[in-house]
Structure 1
Amino acid sequence: MIKTTRIMKQKIRLLALFLILTLMAHAQCTFRNTAFGNEEHLNYNLYYNWQFVWVKAGTALWSTVASTYHGTPAYKASLITRGNGRVDKYFVLRDTLLCYDSRQMAPLYYRKGAREGKRYTVDEVFYSYPGGKCRVKQHRIDNDGKHHWQEKTYNDCVFDMMSIFMRARSFNPESWKKGQTVNFPIVDGNSMHPAKIVYNGKTEVKADDGHKYRCLEMTYYENENGKKWRNIASFYVSDDQNHIPIRLDMRLKFGSAKAYLVSMKGINNPVTSKIK
């Protein structure tokens, strides 16, 4: 009996040590979440610019829910865009993005399946944190079906498109001035390159729910060749603790698109940005 008790105590100590090491390994890439709760759903209308005319192109749904990833408590975020038949003959838009972040906001997994025009590609990123470093296993499936794998380890944190946006929703911009820049490395299925978010000040935006909101305007840039920064998207997020995306302006390879908020559910904080 005494021997069994000792063995149990040793197992408990080893489990505690494992948990401590896991937390320490995630510590460098953690962040506080003040924006969203355990079940948030945001619906959008999509518009596509075709020959200088904006047409209704489809819908998008962003969901963030409490989940687990291989036994680790996590937030699961997904963005699903669906085009309609009206513009499919010109441009097919079928994107599905998924990510898991720990409850401490450390990236765990990312996937993007994108059908843009006639091309379909898949990107995956698997994160781990051995020895306090950030290791990523990257997977790309090309349009021709070929698989490409690579694995790299970084001393600093790296992020994918979804995880950095989730983190950015908890930034505190109260002291920011126009032009404030947040730099970070961005990864996808086969590359890592510099990216940044630039704060462009405050403005008012009318959503497709019929309301106006005070918003913070932020623009997301990527630098793929080490020379020129490319404007990827602008986000207009509510000027309150939720930082809800009210409008998104996206620069696509085949044109440009906009998304306007239609409805929201499961919001974590009072929506004080709504203009009555």
Structure 2
Amino acid sequence: MYDLYFNWKFVWVKAGLASLTTNATTYHSQPAYRMNLLAISGKRADYFFKMRDTLTCVMGQKLEPRYFRKGAEEGKRYTVDEARFSYKDGLCFVNQKRTHRDGEVQEMEYSDSRCIYDMLTILAQARSYDPADYKIGDKIKFPMATGRKVEEQTLIYRGKENVKAENGVTYRCLIFSLVEYDKKGKEKEVITFFVSDDKNHLPVRLDMYLNFGSAKAFLRSVSGNRHPLTSVVK
């Protein structure tokens, strides 16, 4: 569970809640994982910017994407994105569909010799990496389905930092940045992930740089973790 904060006019305001859950499931009779991310702004924040986002993904046991859905009500905008992934002859195929509030539907297909990720499976994949051999500044490049197209994305390892969560516990964290590049090659931070430096790689804090401002998510509570939280700073 996470507490959400938005920045308005240089003031950080508690704006809502988010939950991230991962469960074992089956997909087309095969063992899989299901991850859900739910983000809801509170009544106070709704006055400025209403947000009701529900993201769901299904991935195989090697964390390869199978299905993704994002229902997003953000301000006056409401869209539903769906992506279905398949694999054949060494290629990854994705079929994407975006449905708008007025019923307009946009569809596209894409294939790549690399694995194509969605917003949630790339988080799961990043959490699965062993950073023992990483050097600060190392870049991980990958294609990601973003609703209407597939875009090249870059994840950069920034190093380690101690981060205090909303529950008062301090964790030793690994830092990753999801960045974009403009036409001149200038780097733009999109999301910074702070994940616990233990086998869980638990997201402890997320810094998000949005079109309408910035937001942060702080870990409030965790349950069902598979491994001991050895990253806790005593």
Fold-level similarity (TM above 0.5): yes
Q: Where on the TM-score scale, by shorter chain, does this alignment land: which range?
A: over 0.9
Tell whether 2:188 aligns with 1:230. yes
| Counterpart AA for 1:210 | G
Deviation, 1:194, is 0.9
Deviation, 1:188, is 2.2
Secondary structure of 2:133's counterpart equals coil
Deviation, 1:180, is 1.1
- For 1:234-272, what per-residue CA distance to the aligned partner results, in whole angstroms no more than 9, with x for missing partners? 011101111100000011121111000011011111101
Q: Distance in 2 between matches of 1:61 and 1:154?
A: 32
Deviation, 1:227, is 4.9
Q: Distance in 2 between matches of 1:113 and 1:119?
A: 11
In the alignment, which residue of structure 1 is the partner of 2:85?
A: 127
Q: Distance in 1 between matches of 2:67 and 2:60?
A: 10
> CA 1:230–1:110 in structure 2 vs 1: closer, same or farther (change >3 Å)?
farther
Q: How does 1:150-161 map to 2 (within 5 A)?
A: 150-161=108-119
Contact 1:193 1:224 in 2 (8 A): no
Alpha-carbon RMSD: 1.5
Deviation, 1:156, is 2.1
Contact 2:110 2:150 in 1 (8 A): no
Sequence identity, in percent?
46
Contact 1:125 1:188 in 2 (8 A): no
> CA 1:154–1:224 in structure 2 vs 1: closer, same or farther (change >3 Å)?
farther
In the alignment, which residue of structure 2 is the partner of 1:194?
A: 152
Q: How does 1:243-262 map to 2 (within 5 A)?
A: 243-262=201-220
Contact 1:91 1:117 in 2 (8 A): yes
Q: Any runs of at least 4 consecutive aligned residues in structure 1 with deviations exceeding 6 A, and if so which?
A: none
Secondary structure of 1:151's counterpart equals strand
Contact 1:126 1:138 in 2 (8 A): yes
- For 1:52-111, what per-residue CA distance to the aligned partner results, in whole angstroms no more than 9, with x for missing partners? 111110100000000112222110001000110011110111111110001121110111
Q: How does 1:1-276 map to 2 (within 5 A)?
A: 43-223=1-181, 227-276=185-234
Query: Greater share of strand residues, 1 or 2?
Result: 2
> CA 1:82–1:163 in structure 2 vs 1: closer, same or farther (change >3 Å)?
same
- Which consecutive residues of structure 2, in runs of 5 or more, have no partner in the other structure? none
Q: Name which structure has the greater RCO, CA cutoff 8 Å, separation 6+.
A: 1
Deviation, 1:224, is 7.7
* Worse overlay, 116-125 or 264-273: 116-125
Q: Distance in 2 between matches of 1:189 and 1:177?
A: 32
Secondary structure of 1:87's counterpart equals helix
Q: TM-score, normalised by structure 2?
A: 0.95
